[in-house]
Amino acid sequence: MKLSESVTRISLDRPRMIAVGILALCVVIGLTALLPSVWPASFPALNGVRVDTDPENMLSSTEAVRVFHDDMKRVFSLNDIVVLGVVNESDPEGVFNPESLRKIYDLTQYALTLHGDVIGQEDPQAGVIRADVLAPSTVDNIEQGGPGVVRFEWLMASPPTSEADAVAVRDKARRIPFLDGTLLSESGKALCLYLPLTSKDLSYSVYMKLREKIAGMEGEERFFITGLPVANDTFGHQMFVQMAISAPMAMVVIFLLMLLFFRKLVLIVSPMIIAMAAVICTMGLLVATGNTIHIMSSMIPIFIMPIAVLDSIHILSEFFDRYQQTRDRRKTMLSVMESLSAPMLYTSLTSSAGFASLALTPIPPVQIFGLFVAFGIMLAWFFTITFIPAYVMFIPEKRLENFGMADMSAEEGREDRSLVGRFLHLMGYFTFRHAKSVVVLSVVVLVLSVVGMGRIRINDNPTNWFKYSHPIRVADRVLNEHFGGTYMAYLVLRAPGETAASALRGVEEPAGASLTAPAVPALPAGLGGPAEPTLPAGLGGSTSVLAPEIVVEAASMKEEVFKDPAVLRYMRGLQEHLLTTGVVGKSNSLADIVKTVHRELIDGTEENFRIPDSAAAVAQCLMQYQSSHRPDDLWHMVTPDYRQTSLWVQLRSGNNTDMTRVVQAVEDYFAENPPPKDLEHQWFGLSYINVVWQQKMVAGMLQAFLGSFLVVLLMMIILFRSALWGFLSMIPLTLTIALIYGVVGFIGKDYDMPVAVLSSLTLGLAVDFAIHFLVRTRALYEKYGSWDACHDHVFGEPARAITRNVVVIAVGFTPLLLAPLLPYVTVGVFLAAILFVSGLATLLLLPSLIRLLEPYLFPATAQCALGCRFSTSFIAGVVAIALVAVNIHQFLEVSWSHIGIGSLVLVVIVAVMSFIISRRASCNTDATSQ
């Protein structure tokens, strides 16, 4: 007895056990994930639901660019920022009127309180970092205070009371390059408050508090809250909306479709149960294994559901057709399962392989998504082959009396008069008569597609993941209209030999913290008796101690490169060059600070808005700059040893293509203008991280596609015991994917993450159609002896089943169109398109090719054993080697040249082995016996 048959028998014999088993599995896995999510404190050992919306996590946390990014954020004490924009377009002076400035002042004062218990944090410092808040009332102004006098003061110590004073605030701020275009817009219509947070996790509480405060403000000002942390949190929320709406909608749609096909409620409940069980177990495992719910993994349910019901549809479809012949549940099911077990296994395996190949991309969320969907598909397959037979045994026979095609045989001979039936029939006729035209047309389409693919623009922009009218996109548009750009990228310049580590000496245990540590716990926790400070040495009983003289270690100091006027002028030149790219709105650097302070120290005139001529002059300007309310601002721009500096670049858009242009502009500048001192340069900041993961994704997706193509091809060769048939089965989906990407290129849709992910996963889905088509074709060919005789039958029941499949999957994904986030919509639209096109390609191109290749596909003497044909076994071997090579390259990071040499050796070995095996005695007897 075959394994598949014994599984079916067990299911038929012990339906109760199967049902209870699956239920128990769902409950156990479900609870493992649910309990720690609802009561995290009671189940500390288990993993609850964790949402991850941080775009940085598109790269592994150990990825070099992220490590550098994190290091530099610490080196320059930079934090994630919530941006609060205030726009007044009705007042002629914009926001610079007493009323608007008073609101801005109040909002700032309010924002400064958003830390500690106000936002529900135990740590009083957690929340808005007060010292780093940028607002008119928290930044310094430096200006002339009369002849020979330089004035230092708050830019706006208190809200101005007169129109003139309000306008004066604007005019002062405009003279400070650091503020102009950052704090206030060039037009003066808008102003931004920048609220850095100790941790981006706190952005949602801060965002909500600000919203609350703003809601109580009336007037002509408009308020916009944006910034990456806010976008992330909103994104997380929308993800759940998507899962709560789209996934159940998919369920409903599939349910309705099946009701349409089978019209028997009691039966179609079973695929729904399987889909539910597969989703619960997969998502439960995802959560329980400590993986996060990410933009990708949140799509898992909606991917598993339509795929999970496919196999059930096949079983039910066959059962529907055959039941009336025997009127015996058990016998019918056994025969159905016998004919379906192989194709079901293969279609599940190929779909699964397509998703699993996503593990070849170097993007962790994509890998997790691929692996778990692959797992879910196999789980659904297992549930299907065990549960569906068991479920049928639960249904009393009398309720099945009217089920199925009662008065007709399920044989393919019967004329189908339905619209679809007639259309498919016509299609078969057409492909038989015009096979060459179809093939030629396909080649033309392929060529055009390749042209289109050449025009693909690789670009992503996480802000555009939100729909056009979403408040975040609105805020993004408005603020970028007014300001020098809200997308930050940082260019680090440094003297050779400096590393993040050298700038972060002993950062693990900050010295400042260890100094304050004893003092803080000793302070009054409530307002009880304060711990008394201890008397210093010299007072009280102990003998007086004087610290040993501290000697300034002048000799050991390295050159302070970024005090060198030539270097600062070079930086200014670079900044000017960046403005010519057209995408940089503004940039800030140490050089700008020096120029501004120099101007005001001398006399405030434009001619002194320059870098002074000696390093000592630079140092003395900066010493004055630091004698302000915000001495630590300097360390956001340069390290205290003046060996590393960060240049802040503000981009007007989050398009990766724009960031790439800026990166290129910097490379060009360095190539054409050698720096006066040896300088290294390196980027960080989210805009740059996005570019890096996108590059990795494009390369990774190509590998994933190659990987899934090879694994599916190998499976096809094994399934059909023929390399030619294997290739044949890959043709429709290859053409489909080429066509879709060609269209993407022609219509100018950006090749972004969702579009990239589609290629390899559709491959696994779309090949199903070819499998069914070719398997049935072979069987029918054997029966009728020629394509001429059998093609009409192929376009009967098999074509109908394929059409049904296309409809279920394509329509099953359409609820994604309702999702509030664009990546989901993109996936929904493209999946539906791909499935329709590949269904069409299968039904048009495959029969045409079969017609043309008939003599080769159905040779007079067919060898069945895989090993007995040299070409097939050799090609299978080569495909297997290539598959291994792709994986080795990705996971062991071996260079292609090494892999190439190794593979070549293996290919020769495979060739020899294939030759020997194909010449072995058993094959000969096999051949002669035919």
DSSP characters over 222-284: EEEEESHHHHHHHHHHHHHHHHHHHHHHHHHHHHHHHHHHH--HHHHHHHHHHHHHHHHHHHH
Give the nearest distance from C-beta 836 to other proteins in angstroms.
58
Among 38, 64, 444, 511, binds other proteins (CB under 8 A): 511
Contacting other proteins within 732-791 (CB under 8 A): none
Give the nearest distance from C-beta 49 to other proteins in angstroms.
34
The single residue listed with the structure tokens 């972060």 is: 504
110 binds other proteins (CB under 8 A): no
Stretch that binds other proteins, among 180-188, 508-516, 587-595, 835-843 (CB under 8 A): 508-516
265 binds other proteins (CB under 8 A): no
Q: Are 597 and 622 contacting, i.e. CB atoms less than 8 angstroms apart?
A: yes
Contacting other proteins within 552-581 (CB under 8 A): 552-554, 560, 563
503 binds other proteins (CB under 8 A): yes
Q: What single-letter DSSP state applies at residue 120?
A: T
154 binds other proteins (CB under 8 A): yes
Q: Determine the Cα–Cα distance for residues 568 and 580; give it in Å rounded to an integer.
A: 19
Q: Determine the Cα–Cα distance for residues 779 and 792; give it in Å rounded to an integer.
A: 13
Give the nearest distance from C-beta 59 to other proteins in angstroms.
25
902 binds other proteins (CB under 8 A): no
Contacting other proteins within 602-631 (CB under 8 A): 602, 612, 614-621, 623-624, 626-631
Q: Which of 110/727 has CB closer to other proteins? A: 110
Q: Phi first, then psi: what are they for 24, rounded to 5°?
A: -60, -45
Give the nearest distance from C-beta 504 to other proteins in angstroms.
6
535 binds other proteins (CB under 8 A): yes
70 binds other proteins (CB under 8 A): no
Among 317, 442, 639, 826, binds other proteins (CB under 8 A): 639
Q: Which of 627/924 has CB closer to other proteins? A: 627
Give the nearest distance from C-beta 573 to other proteins in angstroms.
23
Q: Determine the Cα–Cα distance for residues 288 and 344; give it in Å rounded to an integer.
A: 29
Q: Which of 614/786 has CB closer to other proteins? A: 614
Q: Are 107 and 91 contacting, i.e. CB atoms less than 8 angstroms apart?
A: no
Give the type of residue at 579.
L
Which region holds residue 94: left if phi is over 0, alpha if psi is between -120 and 50, else beta?
left
Q: Phi first, then psi: what are they for 537, rounded to 5°?
A: -60, 140
Q: Which of 556/861 has CB closer to other proteins? A: 556
Q: Name the token pair of 185.
A: 């817009």
Residues contacting 306, CB < 8 A, separation 6+: 250, 254, 808, 809, 812, 813
Among 124, 396, 496, 582, binds other proteins (CB under 8 A): 124
Residues contacting 461, CB < 8 A, separation 6+: 653, 654, 655, 656, 750, 752
Stretch that binds other proteins, among 11-19, 539-547, 736-744, 834-842 (CB under 8 A): 539-547
Contacting other proteins within 640-699 (CB under 8 A): 640-641
The terminus-to-terminus CA distance of the chain in angstroms comes to 27
Q: What single-letter DSSP state applies at residue 678?
A: -
For residue 435, CA distances in Å to 227, 427, 742 come to 57, 11, 24
Q: Which of 124/785 has CB closer to other proteins? A: 124
Letters for 77-96 (x = contact with other proteins by CB under 8 A, - = none) are x-------------------
Q: Name the token pair of 826.
A: 């993109």
Contacting other proteins within 17-36 (CB under 8 A): none
- The Cβ of residue 927 has, within 10 Å, a number of other Cβ atoms equal to 11
Q: Determine the Cα–Cα distance for residues 362 and 355; give it in Å rounded to an integer.
A: 14
Contacting other proteins within 155-184 (CB under 8 A): 157-158
Letters for 377-416 (x = contact with other proteins by CB under 8 A, - = none) are ----------------------------------------
Q: Are 200 and 59 contacting, i.e. CB atoms less than 8 angstroms apart?
A: no
Q: How many chain residues bind other proteins (CB under 8 A)?
A: 84
Q: Which of 563/721 has CB closer to other proteins? A: 563
Among 215, 515, 860, 921, binds other proteins (CB under 8 A): 515
Q: Which of 305/593 has CB closer to other proteins? A: 593
Give the type of residue at 497.
G
Q: Determine the Cα–Cα distance for residues 517 and 779; give it in Å rounded to an integer.
A: 80
